[in-house]
Structure 1
Amino acid sequence: MGTSTVQNPKKCLVPKGVKQLYKATSGDKGTLVTTCCIISPSGVALHPNMVFPQVHFKEHMLKGAPPGTSGLVAQSGWMNSELFARVMQHFVKVSHLAKENPSLLILGNHESHLSITALDIAKDNGVTVLTIPPYCSNCMQLLDISDFRLFQMHNTAIE
């Protein structure tokens, strides 16, 4: 999911007869930041991981992000195999997963999700990874249909 660093302006209601409306919004186009979210069927969500198109991470990049958000950087701004392995480690650590406490993780079929390192971390910690076939996420990936659609309607432009 992509999140814009510049928010869309909200609609304003004004009393009848007002001829001018002043509204402050940024003229920037902003930057599209890749956001990785993991949410369980019961609605429990891990803190998001945001991938910024930078070489070095700086703490101010997370200003205004939800508390606990992890900041990652990649020159392209896209999730890659190395970063997804870090996301998988975070998922295992926060979820207290082990082979005795198995779980199922449903992912889109992005190439970064299929890295050997990330899959080994999942296997070693009792996580079964199920990927959705390509070009089917719009109807099969439940987060795209429910949670992310609400996010898109209320907060930011998602591309």
Structure 2
Amino acid sequence: MVRNYIRKTDKRSYTEADLINAVEKVRTKEWTYEKASSETNIPIGTLASRISRNSNHHVGRPTALTKTEEKNLVDLIITLQDYGELSTCDDVLKYATEFVDIMNLKSRLKNGVPTRDWYYGFLRRWKDRLKIMNSTKLEKVRADVTLSTVDGWFAKLHSVLLKLDLFNKPQQLFNCDESGFRDDPGKKKVVVSRDTKYANKIHTGSGKENTTVLLTISATGICLPPYVIYKSKCLYDTWCPRNVIRGAVFNRTESGWINEDTFFDYLENMFIPQTKHIPRPLLLIFDGHTSHLSLKTARLAIENDIHLLCLPAHATHLLQPLDVYTLKYVKAQWRSLLWDYSKKN
């Protein structure tokens, strides 16, 4: 159960910054104790206690993470919001756990992980920069995407392009999207005899095998090598032809779909090396799915001056350039290849 401390005295009317400022002015003899107390409503005893121990640090039990360490998490939450990804309580705890693990700080926390007690304390300590709000509920059905959602997206895109000075710099704008390719050739209209009840087509494969391909293209029309994700527990060399598509990167997950680790690998081993010759900053537009983002991914993007911008949920059929045309065309060609292969084999 979350413990909420109930203050037994009136809430103080001054901030920690007010206290630090008043202490400094008393130390430099700009103010007397009496004037400092009357100007800031800080008790003289509090001022004297802070000065006597020669410290400006906050009184009380030290937090598990220092102020500088917590500031990294605050900056991450705000950065992700700029990307279009809002952080829930579970998301913040996930980022904090990952940070603690990366920085080897588990010994500071009970059971080695941040708890909900820590989460609520964290929000109280950073109430000047963070607050809890109810997110605006988006319609789950794609057909119900509102005009305001579309207008809001383009307004945000305009502000990002303006902020990063990327107008008329199409070589620095990128869009990525993943799509699953099955071994099922799909359906085609066929001509059969009048008494046929089911037009069954025998083809190789189960129709259930799925391979994910993550495609990236710039606003100039340049397509980067694909990032291929197989559904498997192991990645075999025979699955990774090096000379078919130069620069292609291969990976695997148990589900066959992208996750946090594979998106980080995509950014580190495909996108960044392929764009290292392009002036910064870069803008990468992608689906705003939680499986894409993590603390280490955001840090990697920031370190390489890459701004990540998420598309609105349930609107990719309208706003995702690769989804609207490119992948639709590629999949049609893929199914055509499967039909041809099935005929020959």
Q: Determine the structure 2 residue equivalent to 1:26.
A: 204
User: Are residues 3 and 27 of structure 1, via their aligned partners in 2, closer, same or farther at CA, if it must alter by over 3 Å?
Assistant: closer
Alignment coverage as a number of residue pairs: 145
Q: Closer, same or farther in 2 for the Cα pair 1:84/1:27, shift >3 Å?
A: closer
Corresponding letter in the other structure for 1:130: L
1:95 to 268, 275, 278: 275
| Whole-angstrom distance in 1 between the partners of 2:218 and 2:182 | 24
Task: Report 1 or 2 for greater relative contact order, CA contacts < 8 Å, sequence distance ≥ 6.
Answer: 1
Structure 2, unaligned runs of 5 or more: 1-178, 191-200, 337-345
Among residues 204, 208, 213, which one is paired with 1:35 in the alignment? 213
Q: Give the C-alpha shift of residue 9 in structure 1.
A: 9.2
Deviation string 1:62-99 (CA, Å, 9 cap, x unpaired) is 46x9513321111111111011101011201111068x
**Quick one: which of 241, 245, 255 aligns to 1:76?**
255
* TM-superposed deviation, 1:156: 3.2
TM-score of the superposed pair, with normalisation by structure 2: 0.38
Structure that is richer in helix per residue: 2
In structure 2, the partner of 1:124 is: 303
Task: Work out whether 1:134 is the aligned partner of 2:313.
Answer: yes
Could you say what secondary structure the match of 2:229 adopts?
Answer: strand
What is the aligned-residue RMSD (CA, Å)?
Answer: 2.8
Name the % identity.
Answer: 23
TM-score (norm 1): 0.78
Distance 1:8 1:60 in 2: 26
> In the alignment, which of 213, 217, 222 is matched to residue 44 of structure 1?
222
- Superposed displacement of residue 155, structure 1: 1.4
Please identify which structure carries the higher strand content. Answer: 1
List, as ranges, runs of 4+ consecutive aligned residues in structure 1 with deviation greater than 6 Å: 9-12
**Corresponding residue for residue 62 of structure 2:** none
Q: Give 1 or 2 for the bigger CA radius of gyration.
A: 2
**Cα deviation, residue 8, structure 1:** 5.7
